[in-house]
């Protein structure tokens, strides 16, 4: 088994297993690979009851992640997000609906959403980077202007803006 060099670690209060289960239910080629539990050692530092879930290792589309139940000290911020590159409007719609379930509807704009655990996601067309860095700045500007009026991405509208 090869371990990837960089693995994102997501800090949760106590929902690591719930979050890993939720995320693996949405993405293909995904699974929970390991679960570790708090023991008696270190309770003065971590304050967690022995036998509760400490760490959940999981994969989404083959990418390894770690979910840690570290308590309420830290929460997610929009400064870090996960970008989901999509090929079709159907993919955009599916990921948008599934990841938004129970999330914050006020945090939805320009393809960004916040899930029920507070993590931020960008559900975007696979070619968004190409559109935003086009050699003709007018094309990129049209895409940006179109995107700024969207919550969930409308692939056809962005494509029209780019090709106009």
3-state secondary structure of 75: coil
β-strand pairing of 112-114 with 63-69: unpaired
Please state, in angstroms and rounded to a whole number, the distance separating the CA atoms of residues 39 and 28: 33
Structural contact between residues 136 and 128, judged by C-beta atoms closer than 8 angstroms = no
> Which pLDDT value is given to residue 1?
59
What secondary structure letter does DSSP report for 150? -
Kindly give the confidence (pLDDT) of every residue in the chain, 164 residues in length, as a single tens digit, with 9 standing for 90 and above: 567 899 999 999 999 999 999 999 999 999 999 999 999 998 878 888 899 999 999 999 999 999 999 999 999 999 999 999 999 999 999 999 999 999 999 999 999 999 999 999 999 999 999 999 999 999 999 999 999 999 999 999 999 999 98
Is the pTM of the predicted complex or chain greater than 0.95? no
Instruction: Name all domains of the chain by residue range, CATH numbers in brackets.
Output: 9-69 (3.30.720.100), 81-163 (3.10.180.10)
Place of tokens 């371990």: 3
Nearest to 105 by CA among 92, 91, 116, 94: 116
3-state secondary structure of 38: coil
> Which pLDDT value is given to residue 4?
85
> Which pLDDT value is given to residue 47?
83
> Which pLDDT value is given to residue 104?
94
Q: How many residues appear in the chain?
A: 164
Please state, in angstroms and rounded to a whole number, the distance separating the CA atoms of residues 150 and 108: 9
Alpha carbon 116 to its chain's center: 11
């Amino acid at each position: 088994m090869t371990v990837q060099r960089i693995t994102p670690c997501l800090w949760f209060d106590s929902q690591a297993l719930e979050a890993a289960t939720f995320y693996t239910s949405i993405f293909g080629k995904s699974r929970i690979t390991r679960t570790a539990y708090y023991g008696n050692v270190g309770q003065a530092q971590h304050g967690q009851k022995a036998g509760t879930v400490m760490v959940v290792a999981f994969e989404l589309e083959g990418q390894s992640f770690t979910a840690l139940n570290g308590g309420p000290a830290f929460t997610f911020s929009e400064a870090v997000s996960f970008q989901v590159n999509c090929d079709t409007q159907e993919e955009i719609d599916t990921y948008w609906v599934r990841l938004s379930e129970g999330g914050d509807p006020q945090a939805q704009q320009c393809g960004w959403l916040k899930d029920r655990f507070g993590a931020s996601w960008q559900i975007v067309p696979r070619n968004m980077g190409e559109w935003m860095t086009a050699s003709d700045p007018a094309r990129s500007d049209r895409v940006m202007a179109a995107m700024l009026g969207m919550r969930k991405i409308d692939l056809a509208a962005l494509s029209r803006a780019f090709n106009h």
